[in-house]
Chain A
Amino acid sequence: MRFNTIELRKRKRLSKSIKKKVFQKNKKKISLLLLTLLITFTVFTIETEAFYISNNLENRYTLDLENTETYDALTILNCKIEEGFANSILYINPYLNYNYQDEDLDFGIEEAYVDLYFTDVDLRIGKQQITWGKADGLVVTNLVNPRDYTRYPIFEYEEQFQAVNAVKTNYYFGSDSLELIWLPEFQPALIDSDLIAANLEGFKIDNTNIEIETKLENSELLMRYSSLGYDYDYELIAGYIWDDQVTFHNKISIPPDNHPFMTIIPEHHRLMVVGGSFSTIQGSFVLRGEGTYTIGKHYNINSKDIMEYKDGVVEKELFKWLAGIDYNYQGYQFSYQLLQEAILDYEDSIEQDQFTYQMTFMVKKPFFRETMDTELSFYYDTVQEQLMVKPKIVYDYSDQINFSLGANYQLEGQRKDDVLYFSTEYLF
């Protein structure tokens, strides 16, 4: 399935033939925002031990290099409010986005949770992001939060993941810890539904099975044991989770008129995952590794063999691993990562290749006493068959104001998602 983000975004805008005034269109959202702020400030004026608020006002402009036109123009207000009590912290991170292209005001809560601290136990309840693993930008063991594929380009690492409602418990034993996570409700990966519809044009789609009902037996459980040591740090993980991405089952129907047609039935499947990660130092090099073994992964069959498999899918086991190396030389930071996915007991009828690879290479260097960060990274993906280069410069004009300039440019590949972006950020 080939997605072209830029083309689909344009089609969405053109389809909006009626443009309403900002205030009338977003009246409900503005009212909800004001109500939330009122409640938040009322609650947070209760006397506490510590109160901290940090706001981030950012303007982002993204230019579509292919068509030399505006791809996106956003203003984002992000607030992080933290209130400390005797043995607990209340944290809320609301945001407000205004999209100039769509004239759309979006308000939401990025994270909101309470932390409770006991002697050797921490408890976090609420909407949160949880990061596992040693990889940068690639996902192997970082399985808790589902991806958000609708965001493009990615400005901050956390933007590619969605926060989830979870109960997280940590037990501490010296430098080791055991983390248990319960996700009571399933949250799928966020993919632009118009993108899917465009790629499945011509087929009938049955979404009956796509929803996962919120009930105890449908909840997700994950566990992580981590340790910091002299020779190496490591994590061991296990999870009983849902596949965040759907598998498209195919049902062939032959009606009385003998004209067969295919119905696409998207479904999520249960996965069992075990794995781990580690990092260690060898001289000036930092070596990192991750690996997972997954049971329950489903794959589509190619069209010529589709009739030989029930629903046109097959269940296989997956082994995924990553190796990374970091090196610092006279202030230049080099980082290389290689990720491989290997479908075990492979059959040639499977649409996806048995082995797929992703690679990243990055060089970073700060200048002018770390007021300017420069970064040049390359990303190669055998599934999308693309080689992308991502240069980026971030300049700290002051401790409150910074500017970013970057680009995502394809050197090879069929997708044309080349963009140039610029942002200004004010912290207060």
Chain B
Amino acid sequence: MTSPTPLWRHPEFAVGARETRDVALGIGAWGLVAGIAMSKAGLGPVFAIAMSLCVFAGSAQLAALPLMVQGAPLWVIWATAFCVNLRFVIFSAGWRPYFQSLSRSRRLFLAYFTVDFTYIAFMRRFPTPGDVRAQTAYVAGNVSVGWLAWQTMTVLGVVLADVIPERWGLGFAGSLALLGITASLLVDRATWIAAAVAACAALAAFALPFHLNVVVAIAAAMAVGVLLDHLAPDRKAPA
């Protein structure tokens, strides 16, 4: 695909960048907290920064870190991150009609940088698929500003945390962040029951080796959730 003007000069790039700039303070603050928590999780600043720059997924990183520090097997670490990232799998089905005309490597390159806010803002700007060049430019503008805000503040958080004493327990900020995300997912009776089942399963299976209790909890909650949807549908629940 050749084009006379580079992507960053397309007018939609500026639109995407501007919309992200308006929420950059929130992105940056969350990046700062995540950086402090990651540094305090016990991997040390170098790995924390490397992880942030490569993985670029705050909640998956915060979920994977305690497992890494405790020496859980790689597949459990990766499976946990995959599950925390499952919302992106669902988003990717939404991205598909917009970018299917691009090559696979371009699609995946673009997808790697898209975070929750990118999806929300993009779908607001482009309710239906259209000019793929304009859409790509918009995403590029959006993620450039978001990536910079997130990574700058994460690195700053890691560096700052390195001079804060361990006994302050600032790593707990990461758990509080995940707690808030968890609470935001409790939207109806079925999700509350699934969460309670997951907690009981995780506790009951705690003695299992390799942190398999996380896998047991996921399987149990998924099974109970689907059963509830079919046997006792909650009329208030969104379909």
Genuine A/B complex: no
